[in-house]
Amino acid sequence: MNEVGDGLNAKNAQWSFGGDTHKTFDAHVSKSVPFYSNGHSIIEEVSDFFLSDGSLVYDIGCSTGTLLEKLAIRNINKKIQFIGCEPEIGMTNAAIEKCKKHTNISIVNESILDFPMEKSDLISSYYTIQFLHPSIRQDVFDKIYKSLNWGGAFIFFEKVRAPDARFQDMMNLIYNEYKFSQGYTPQEVITKSKSLKGVLEPFSSQGNIDLACRAGFKDVMSVFKYVCFEGFLAIK
């Protein structure tokens, strides 16, 4: 049995956002990640402080385009260009379909490492960087910092590791209880955890802040925290 819930299947250490994952992704992630839509709301509100006519916005790992569409609707009276970067073709096509009514949204089927970024005022990454190999994360942060205009912002949400083993054990158990409360069976939770081995590699809160600071950000703060999930705002 390789079921991880919501009609999704994944093998040991082989979780993937490809294949048919895009078909049930929104439902699955909304149940799996606490306060998922609330995090979107935080990013929407943050956008008010950084976007104006002529702004460019990037969403890294935009999946099905849900956040991009929300940002476009919130800023509908401003002349803003939104670009979603998504490496999985199924997710890309789903995002294109979802956002097709918005002529100022573009979706590109590329990895952030390969995609040339222009000067921008806001860059978002919603539980994406945790899936990038640790060896390339600093390069991604460096690229993001370089892309931003002075005074621009990078807002990113990540699953985070606790600062020591005792806290990590506690956070794992609390998060498992959360998933059980969402209707997932113990077997589905275990199977999902096994599938994420070597695929999802969270850093600690400080580890994420260090990535931002090494890239050049001086102003970094936490804007959301729930157990092992955290949102950060970094301003250039």
Supply 175's token pair: 């998060």
For 190, residues 6+ apart whose C-beta sits below 8 A from its C-beta are: none
59-83 pLDDT tens trace: 999 999 999 999 999 999 999 999 9
Parts of the chain belonging to CATH 3.40.50.150: 35-159+203-235
From CA 83, how far away is CA 108, in angstroms rounded?
A: 7
What pLDDT does 9 receive? Answer: 76
Query: 84 has which bridge partners?
Result: 59, 107
Question: How many C-beta atoms lie closer than 10 Å to residue 133's C-beta?
Answer: 9
184-223 pLDDT tens trace: 999 988 888 888 888 899 999 999 999 999 999 999 999 9
For 35-159+203-235, CATH gives 3.40.50.150
Q: Does residue 34 surpass a pLDDT of 60? A: yes
158-194 pLDDT tens trace: 999 999 999 999 999 999 999 999 999 999 888 888 8
Across 157-195, b (16+ Cβ under 10 Å) vs e yields bbbbbbeeeeeeeebeeebeebbeeeebeeebbebbebb
What pLDDT does 19 receive? Answer: 78
What pLDDT does 217 receive? Answer: 98
From CA 121, how far away is CA 150, in angstroms rounded?
A: 8
Contact 63, 95 (CB under 8 A): yes
